[in-house]
Amino acid sequence: PCTPNGAIHLLKRFGIEIAGKKVVVIGRGVTVGRPIGLMLTRRSENATVVLCHTGTKDLTKETLQADIIVAAAGQPHMLTADMVKPGAAILDVGVSRKDGK
């Protein structure tokens, strides 16, 4: 899929090492969340992936351990600054609507 491919390309373009890193993907959708999780675990990327979603009990615990966070949930404000460790890379590829917009 194009969005997960683009996200991985963006990480590489900016020199962000993926191999051996812990990646938290927030979102389990078939368009981005699930595909990017699978793509990041390929041998060519070699990341450890944790797939989280709106029902994840302690999302902050997971994100604070992440080297890379991919926000792909359709819900706004699931990730805040206090949930991210210093130096972590964040990609926001989620789409959400507020008041129908």
> Phi then psi for 38, rounded to 5 degrees?
-65, -40
Percentage of residues in the chain having pLDDT higher than 70 = 98
More confident call, 96 vs 70: 70
Domain membership of residue 31 (yes or no) is yes
The pLDDT of residue 26 is above 90 = yes
pLDDT of residue 21: 98
Q: What is the pTM of this model?
A: 0.92
Mean pLDDT on 39-46: 96
Handedness of CA 21, 26, 28, 30 (dihedral sign): negative
Q: Which structural domain range is residue 49 located in?
A: 2-92
Structural domain contains residue 36? yes
- Give domain status of residue 98, yes or no: no
Please give the Cα distance from 75 to 94 (Å, whole number): 8
Whether 100 is covered by a domain: the verdict is: no
Q: Is 52 part of any domain?
A: yes
Considering the domain boundaries, does residue 57 fall inside one?
Answer: yes
Residue 47 forms part of a structural domain: yes
In a domain, 99, yes or no: no
pLDDT at 35 over 80: yes
CATH number at residue 80: 3.40.50.720
Q: Predicted confidence band at 25 (pLDDT cuts at 50, 70, 90)?
A: very high
